[in-house]
Structure 1
């Protein structure tokens, strides 16, 4: 409202409820915010009074609702303490660090630091050459060393690839010899298995080996999607070349994994020798042949290097970033060298060969140990139902009755290092282009307004770095929650609970197998794509907030909130009113029983609520769309979550891959199954051993102990039957997997088979149905 007496040059007469502005005639007036009015914005409108009253009623309703809930919970807890005893049950693990662990870590740090120092001196000379060319306005490239033509990894690595193939060939003969010693004869020679993904042995070593490949996988993917890559030979041939490079990367680390899996003196000795060659070859390859930020004569990209030098300068910043990126890789290579050396030393010094067992048999018989994971799981099944599991962990707690398979640890180690390399490269390579993006946005605003803008666009570097930090934190938390979800779903499937994972169906076995194939690759791609989406969304949101603050565009926010707040107050008032009525008025026992009270009042309420919710449903539909978009972005890296819902979750390839993985893990890693199989194998091994009695007195002792042995067997059978009864009572779905059930099912099926094709019986059934 304009007023000629207002003067805003010395003070603000509008107060905190308005802004003093000028109109077209040069007169001052007060522009009131929200629901204020009047010449100096000191009066509330009717809408403002109504909003305040509705907000107070909503606050009162929320306070009463949660107050009653807290009161009922406290009274119930006090009553339970009087009636029942609280059993404490611990499933956590206490970690003890041995002194040799510190020696092990020290050796890793020494080897990794030595490798990084050697690489520093190698790339320092290349950096000086490039900087000198930059200062003299020359083409920015370096001349590779002559050895790079031999060890160039992009051209099949002529040193490591033949060596890896030779070791694989030797390991095939070594594995054949081990099978012959274990009396498992076969006429064929098989490739040694590098890793058994269904076991939980050597998990740390395998996970570290997989983590090394994260950087190489990122480089191959970056090269495949790079604009500078030549597609003259055809796009299919280009992608086949990238696939061939991935296979070469697999051959490079195949001997290391196979040596540990075979676990013989020859395999460990050759694997240790191969790992000691791998580290210097990696240093030479990255230090002389393929520096991360410098190009050779075959790939000259002056524009890219000019951007980096203009933004970061010609100092040692790029060298430091290069070394920081390689710290995890060199630490992992050092761990492999020290671990293989430790194993081969232990093999030669302390091992005493007793029984000829294959690695698979050793892993299976390990389940019979008293402190094995399978034994702990079986022991916890027979704990009291009154136990209360105490856990102080926020997200994840280590349990003594569960271990993730090697596949999960390999996948997570690769993903975390992949995110580490990806975030560093994104921050280093994208930040120089933020200046150009900022200038482009500023020029677009200036051209739209027709003159120079009063305010300049805020710097985009700060919102980008903040978006990267928040986005990476969200993805890491989601991955940790996915670990909890995997363990929970495996426990559910173990006991036959299909509340979250669809029930296993015989017709979908091929789908489960295919999903199990895709699980690891899909999770890597979904995590990367989810990180990009979250960072992009947060970057746009933070830039918008920064622009609103810089340009003082608060009136836009005020206009949106002015129309949004009344709608939200009415909607939430209706939501909490429904909660209050449902829990304390219409449900029995305060909502603990799904049985209605006050039936007549409920029918009247449903009648009027029938028409009222039709209008609230319009706002709910908009919220449903926004929630689905936000949930799809935030949960993109979670394969256990399907944004399509329960009815359409079978259309989600990621969720199908997760279900296939869970069902496959349950089939091959069920603790009860492993214990039963290990028990049978142990009994078979004991029976196959020849027993020779040389002492004559042992014969009489054996005869007298037969009666005691029979008594023990009877007692053992009784105990097993009682344990089976308790197990089936607590896991009723396992009744359908027992042999007796299948025999009875086939008997009934065969008995009814003769009546299926009987025409007379069919006609009689139709007549009876028609007469009803």
Structure 2
């Protein structure tokens, strides 16, 4: 009977367990019915099937790659190189230059759009299962090799898009129109045909292709505009036009036409509004007459902005939907576990069945976490964009200072502004460095600002809203004598230093009461150690925040002076400036263009004023009509002196010429008796 009774009890316990399991299952389904707003697709985005567009990426690249290659070969034959074999086909065709990166005029927006397409394509292929479109279903071991090959394939694939604008020919513009239209139509068709994909988030693929589509739309309008302009403008004028000539003349005219202000309009004490406006202007780049930023900087800013968008999109779709899924799938059973660990406060922890209030509390916590993440991401994007705009302002001031020869205003020690192996390498990689630093800076900022926002929300905001005291408040409440001691010690030291240890005279300040100063220094040493600990924590926090915010700025170094060369970003920026100033100095280019101008026949009506001669006339207090030969000689001497004064790096190149007493038109005068 004992055995039978024990068996009956065992069966009863099993029945109770199954009944409890059924109740949990029924509670689960009841909870699911209570959340009708959350769909199954939102909770499980992986159920989205793979979509095969009408024009697959493999078919698109198989068709467009040969077409791009044929267009590139045709353009190369159109512009023949006559340096190797002049007798063979009247010149050997060569590879076209993508853009004149050291010139200031040209299709700058078109070049920036192609670089934006190239960088966005590289961002997309990093997360693709098939980085090389020709090869599908690649294994995990060979996928990295295909990614390396794709890094070389995509620049070659989009090469004709940028090379069509370099030739400045109607046929090249026509080919550019057709090529950009084909790329644009195919990309739009693919995304309209398959807007959703199972990769990371259902709309991530479509959102990540937005910069590519926008840049292709820009090219689709830019090339037709160039083609129409080629028909309205004479072809001989386009061929004879020197690249950058208009900018160099405008820059020189703006420099020479500057007049110092009459009287002193500066005030000793500026108002608060003027200080705020000056501070905002230092972060907002406004165009300036006679000056435009170099093409390489435009490319770096463009790709950096696209990098901010791509990284922010990836951070957003990788975290926020997951938090929403967790919040939608939160059940009372999980809340009971969180209450037992003390992560969620509960009024009746002994009653696990009544957890409705705690469930709402957990959902509120997850919603707060989502808000903190989105707010920190938006703040990081705004700060990074502001720092990039600040880079434009600083770059303009640095370039203008180097144009004037003020090397020490930019660098902490004297530099020779001439090309070198290291400078050329840094100049080539500057735009890529700026883009990479923008990506890393945004990631670092997001981690730091998200942790700070979560700490502030859960330690201050939520306890104040709920009326409960957090652990931080309890620590501060229990340690109030300690904090009061530190505050009093700091206030006493400042008051004593101001009233007892400092003797103020009208012209100088001296130490006084030195014995009392020594006594107070000795007695307050232990307390100052504790104050120093707080100061060290604040130093660590402010250094992390400052360095993370300014991480994307290459015009400043995050290291102290003397070890700035160990900062690769600042090191690349300094050498980049050397190449830009030594090879694209506007005054030097204007001087060279002046020398290359053909001689004009003399006219009895006098001098014909041009944009360059206008600056010379501005420098003359009185207009005295000299002879033609005398004027040519004076103009050559003036241009030479002005060029050497604003570009001292050319002085070393003229040492042999300066040793000749007859150089630059200088004639030996006979010795006086």
CA separation of 1:207 and 1:509: change in aligned 2, threshold 3 A: same
CA contact (8 A) 1:161 1:248 kept: no
- Summarize the alignment of residues 121-200 of structure 1 with structure 2, pairs less than 5 Å apart: 140-142=48-50, 144-145=52-53, 147-148=55-56, 150-152=58-60, 157-176=61-80, 188-200=92-104
- Summarize the alignment of residues 182-261 of structure 1 with structure 2, pairs less than 5 Å apart: 188-200=92-104, 201-223=106-128, 234=141, 238-261=143-166
500-509 vs 659-668, which moves further: 500-509
CA contact (8 A) 1:522 1:654 kept: yes
Partner in structure 1 of residue 411 of structure 2: 501
Q: Do structure 1's residue 529 and structure 2's residue 440 form an aligned pair?
A: yes
- Summarize the alignment of residues 88-487 of structure 1 with structure 2, pairs less than 5 Å apart: 140-142=48-50, 144-145=52-53, 147-148=55-56, 150-152=58-60, 157-176=61-80, 188-200=92-104, 201-223=106-128, 234=141, 238-288=143-193, 291=194, 293-295=196-198, 318=203, 328-353=211-236, 356-357=239-240, 362-367=242-247, 369=249, 372-380=250-258, 383=260, 394=281, 395=283, 396-435=285-324, 445-449=338-342, 453=346, 456-457=361-362, 458-459=365-366, 460-487=369-396
CA contact (8 A) 1:367 1:674 kept: no
Rounded to whole Å, the distance in 2 between the matches of 1:210 and 1:435 is 36
Deviations 1:102-143 (A, max 9, x none): xxxxxxxxxxxxxxxxxxxxxxxxxxxxx9999999964246
Q: 1:711 aligns with which of 627, 632, 636?
A: 627
Rounded to whole Å, the distance in 2 between the matches of 1:528 and 1:240 is 24
Rounded to whole Å, the distance in 2 between the matches of 1:210 and 1:653 is 23
Give the superposition deviation at 1:191. Answer: 1.0
Partner in structure 2 of residue 626 of structure 1: 541
With normalisation by structure 2, the TM-score equals 0.68
Give the superposition deviation at 1:335. Answer: 2.4
Rounded to whole Å, the distance in 2 between the matches of 1:356 and 1:350 is 11
Partner in structure 2 of residue 109 of structure 1: none
CA contact (8 A) 2:502 2:509 kept: no
Rounded to whole Å, the distance in 2 between the matches of 1:634 and 1:138 is 36
Give the superposition deviation at 1:263. Answer: 0.7
CA separation of 1:286 and 1:566: change in aligned 2, threshold 3 A: farther
CA separation of 1:262 and 1:623: change in aligned 2, threshold 3 A: same
CA separation of 1:198 and 1:550: change in aligned 2, threshold 3 A: same
Partner in structure 2 of residue 659 of structure 1: 574
RMSD between aligned residues:
5.0
CA contact (8 A) 1:272 1:341 kept: yes
CA separation of 1:355 and 1:659: change in aligned 2, threshold 3 A: closer
Partner in structure 2 of residue 550 of structure 1: 462
Rounded to whole Å, the distance in 1 between the matches of 2:325 and 2:41 is 24
Rounded to whole Å, the distance in 2 between the matches of 1:714 and 1:188 is 46
CA separation of 1:486 and 1:224: change in aligned 2, threshold 3 A: farther
Give the superposition deviation at 1:385. Answer: 9.8
Give the superposition deviation at 1:444. Answer: 7.7
Rounded to whole Å, the distance in 2 between the matches of 1:178 and 1:582 is 82
Give the superposition deviation at 1:610. Answer: 8.4
Deviations 1:334-369 (A, max 9, x none): 221222112212212432425854xxx611433454
With normalisation by structure 1, the TM-score equals 0.60
Give the superposition deviation at 1:160. Answer: 1.3
How many residue pairs match? The answer is 551
CA contact (8 A) 1:365 1:681 kept: no
Partner in structure 2 of residue 54 of structure 1: none
Rounded to whole Å, the distance in 2 between the matches of 1:626 and 1:471 is 17
626-635 vs 549-558, which moves further: 549-558
- Summarize the alignment of residues 484-633 of structure 1 with structure 2, pairs less than 5 Å apart: 484-495=393-404, 496-502=406-412, 503-504=414-415, 509-548=420-459, 549-551=461-463, 552-554=468-470, 556-557=472-473, 559-560=475-476, 562=480, 563-564=482-483, 567=486, 571=490, 585=504, 597-598=508-509, 620-633=535-548
Rounded to whole Å, the distance in 1 between the matches of 2:59 and 2:292 is 40
Q: Give 3-state SS (helix, strand or coil) of 1:397's partner.
A: coil
CA separation of 1:638 and 1:567: change in aligned 2, threshold 3 A: farther
CA separation of 1:137 and 1:218: change in aligned 2, threshold 3 A: closer
CA contact (8 A) 1:377 1:671 kept: no
Q: Give 3-state SS (helix, strand or coil) of 1:643's partner.
A: coil
Rounded to whole Å, the distance in 2 between the matches of 1:507 and 1:344 is 39
Q: Give 3-state SS (helix, strand or coil) of 1:408's partner.
A: helix
Rounded to whole Å, the distance in 2 between the matches of 1:669 and 1:388 is 35
CA separation of 1:609 and 1:165: change in aligned 2, threshold 3 A: farther
Rounded to whole Å, the distance in 2 between the matches of 1:264 and 1:249 is 25
Give the superposition deviation at 1:657. Answer: 1.4
Q: Give 3-state SS (helix, strand or coil) of 1:271's partner.
A: helix
Rounded to whole Å, the distance in 2 between the matches of 1:582 and 1:724 is 61
Consecutive unaligned residues in structure 1, runs of 5 or more = 1-130, 296-300, 309-317, 589-596, 703-707, 747-772
CA separation of 1:570 and 1:165: change in aligned 2, threshold 3 A: farther
- Summarize the alignment of residues 752-763 of structure 1 with structure 2, pairs less than 5 Å apart: none
CA separation of 1:716 and 1:146: change in aligned 2, threshold 3 A: closer
- Summarize the alignment of residues 12-51 of structure 1 with structure 2, pairs less than 5 Å apart: none
Give the superposition deviation at 1:490. Answer: 1.6
CA contact (8 A) 2:252 2:590 kept: yes
CA contact (8 A) 1:133 1:140 kept: yes
Q: Do structure 1's residue 734 and structure 2's residue 638 form an aligned pair?
A: no
Give the superposition deviation at 1:715. Answer: 5.6
CA separation of 1:718 and 1:186: change in aligned 2, threshold 3 A: same
Partner in structure 2 of residue 674 of structure 1: 589
